[in-house]
Every structure is written in C-alpha cells, then in structure tokens.
Amino acid sequence: MGDIFQQKVRMGMIGGGEGAFIGNVHRMAAALDGRIELVCGAFGQSMDNTLRTGAALGIPKQRLYASYSDLIRDEARRDPADRMEFLAIVTPNHLHIPIAEMAIVHGFHVMSDKPAGISLAEVTAFADRLAGTDCLYGLTHTYLGYPMVWQARAIIGEGRLGRLRKIYVEYPQGWLAENLEAGGAKQATWRTDPARAGLSGCMGDIGSHAHSLVEFMTGDRMSQIAAFLNAHIDGRRLDDDGAVQFRMEKGATGTLIASQVCAGEENALKIRIYGEEGGLEWHQMEPNTLIERPASGPALIHRAGTDKALDAEALARCRLPSGHPEGYLEAFANLYRDFAAAIRAGQSGAAKGVPGIKEAVAGMAFLEALVQSNRNDNCWTEVPVRSVDEAKKEKI
C-alpha cells in the first residue's frame, strides 16, 4: 500500500455497544491491519452503555456521544486532521439509511452493515444522493472478502465452466429454532421486529448474503424469482425460513435456501455452481478450499495461501502461507483494508474490492421481489433493476 498509510484512517462507530454481537467483530476486523483507528462512537441506546463501551475501548469521554446526530455534528466541527474520516454503522436495519444520509451530508464516508436499509425506495434515493458527493459507501457482505470466493469468480469469469446452467446456494442456521425474542434476547428481538428489521427477517439477515454470493461469483444478476417464506415459531412476525427459485439474466437457474430454525446448524453457508464444462463448490465453514470439478478429468482442489498459484485478486486477499487457516475475521478485515485504502487514495462512490451502493440496491430489490412473490401465491416475480441513466450516477 506504499506510503498512503503513514497516518491511520480515523473511524467512528454507531451501535455495537454492550450486548451487541457484530459491532465487536467490525472493530476487530478494522483493527487487524493496523491501518484504522477507532476515535469516537455512539455505541448504545443509552449513554451509560456508550460510556462503558468507550471506556473499555480506551476512547476519551469527549469523543463519546449520546446519539448518532450528536456524533456526526460534533465530529464535523473538529479540525480535519483530528475528526473521524468514516463512519461504521452497526445498528438495526431501520437506522442504516438515516445515519448514512446524515454522514454523507457532512462529508463522511460510510461503511454499513447489511442489508442497506428497510426498503428499495429509501436505498435508491440514498444512491442518488451519494452520487452527488465525494463520499465512499461500503456494505459489509463479509463473505465477499474470502480469497476462494474471488478464485471462484475468476474461474467463472475465465469461462472454465462454460455457460452456467445451475446454481444451488444454502444458508442454514439454528439459533432462532426457539422463541428467543419472547425472553427478551436482544439480537432476536430486533431481528424479528418489522419496524427495525424491515420487510424480511431470515432472508434479510442471511438470505441477502446468499444472494450477494451468487451474483458476485457468477458476475450475473437474478432477474426473476419465485419465493416461499415461512415463520415456524408461533407469533413470530417475520420469516425465519424460506426458499427461492431463481433465474439469472444470462439463463442459469437455481435454488436459494435460507433458514434460522435448522436446529443444530451453525453457520453453514455453501454454494455449488454448474456450467456446461464443469462445476465449483465452496463451503463457508471450510473457507480455504474451493473444489473445481471439470466435466472430464479429476477434481481440482484449490487452496488458499500466499504460496499458491491463485488468481491475483484471490492471492491479494490471502495473508498467510498455505496450511495456516484464515477465516471470518480475515475476510471481514479484507473489506476494511480495501475501504481504508480507497479513502487514502481519495476515491469516491465505491471502493475497489468492497461491495458498494450497486450491491446495496440489488440486495433490496431482491428482498422486495421475494416478499412480493410470497404474497402473490409464490408467483414468478421480476427483480427490479434501475435504469441505465440512474445506474450511471452511482460512480461504480
């Protein structure tokens, strides 16, 4: 990265206080390469939570705030050499866009948890506002930071599988197999609340990861879907399970399954992609291995590691020699590293290698189409796409 990191990139954070899960993961990932410094935060719904979290993280009291609006306004008034440079948003979904909008108005870059918001309309409107700024926007689809995901994308892009025909992607979890929200469990409570989670529960939380993985690996988009959503726990207001049949724009068909009520499952995201001349298989829980199966000939086992003959983009995301396992935190850190590099390089719109506003809009279009399909007797539904003129505004 040359000399661009002589000074660390200064990060603020909204959310991620005591009782949260993903906020601490963001902080560990951002810190891994030593190129980002957390300088301020509004971590909890209460100031007491923020003060305790900030004290544990060693942040001065004067850089701890009661609300996101207080943080953004006060940081904007600080000397440019001292104020935060970008804001990480790790709140429930309904706050993602309001916080991101205020941040870019005040000139701050944004790294947001996914999904980008709670409706396609608000995310599309935000995309238009972002296009009129010099700000970067990143979306933490963590699994797109894995080296072997990039290797799969390269193999498909080179045409080694031929024309794609079939895609299977599944993401089973078991943590919501019981009615945790009835007992007040924080992570379950907001994820099953339509006002905070948005129009979908399980599909918005993890199905969106499966969707982004399909589109990233194939370089294609889902154009039509037929969706089946379920809520298996009595009284649960959002889906905790579902399946989607889909058609890709270039002709491949597939099935996407996501569920959070598969008792005993951990985080078993996996994908298989088949073309005329072979197939690929990748499992998130065994992330350093990618299996390539040519139509004729033995299977090829691709392994992550800095001493392997991988595609350049995959190799750039490997940190250790082969046989030294890397995983979720390293993949997450790859996104933050590339985002920080884009800030130091003076980029705007989207950071190279990091999901951005294009993926944010595509993800919300997918979620709205699947909810519409489920409501309309699971009928085939077009996934909306923005016009060419609107897409040109996104600087991506």
Residues 131 and 190 in one domain: no
Residues 279 and 153 in one domain: yes
Domain endpoint, select from 89, 116, 142: 142
Q: CATH code at 285? A: 3.30.360.10
Residues 117 and 171 in one domain: no
CA dihedral 150, 298, 271, 303 (to 10 degrees): -40
Which two tokens mark 8?
């660390």
Domain endpoint, select from 123, 142, 161: 142
Burial of 101 (C-beta count, 10 Å sphere; 0-12/13-18/19+): middle
d(CA 117, CA 188): 18
- Nearest to residue 339, comparing CAs of 328, 349, 326, 325? 349
d(CA 205, CA 22): 12
d(CA 333, CA 321): 17
Q: Decide if 211 is inside a domain.
A: yes
CA-angle at 31, arms to 25 and 32, nearest 5°: 90
CA distances from 242 to 45, 103, 371 (A): 32, 34, 11
Read off the pLDDT of residues 183-216 as tens digits, 9 standing for 90 and up.
999 999 999 999 999 999 999 999 999 999 999 9
Q: Decide if 326 is inside a domain.
A: no
Residues 85 and 159 in one domain: no
Residues 128 and 158 in one domain: no
pLDDT of amino acid 6: 75
Residues 178 and 278 in one domain: yes
Q: Decide if 47 is inside a domain.
A: yes
Residues 76 and 159 in one domain: no
Q: Decide if 184 is inside a domain.
A: yes
Residues 177 and 251 in one domain: yes
Read off the pLDDT of residues 49-101 as tens digits, 9 standing for 90 and up.
999 999 999 999 999 999 999 999 999 999 999 999 999 999 999 999 999 99
Q: Decide if 395 is inside a domain.
A: no
End-to-end Cα spacing for the chain: 22
pLDDT of amino acid 350: 92
Residue with tokens 């995959």: 314
Q: Decide if 337 is inside a domain.
A: no
Residues 55 and 195 in one domain: no
Domain boundaries, position 196: 147-320
Residues 169 and 307 in one domain: yes
Residues 80 and 197 in one domain: no
- Number of structural domains (the chain) is 2
Name the stretches of the chain with pLDDT < 50.
Answer: 1-2, 387-396
Residue with tokens 């990233």: 216
pLDDT of amino acid 395: 38
Residues 108 and 181 in one domain: no
pLDDT of amino acid 389: 39
DSSP, collapsed to helix, strand or coil, labels residue 20 as coil
Q: CATH code at 55? A: 3.40.50.720
To the question of pTM greater than 0.85 for the whole model, the response is yes
Q: Decide if 313 is inside a domain.
A: yes
Domain endpoint, select from 320, 337, 372: 320
Q: Decide if 341 is inside a domain.
A: no
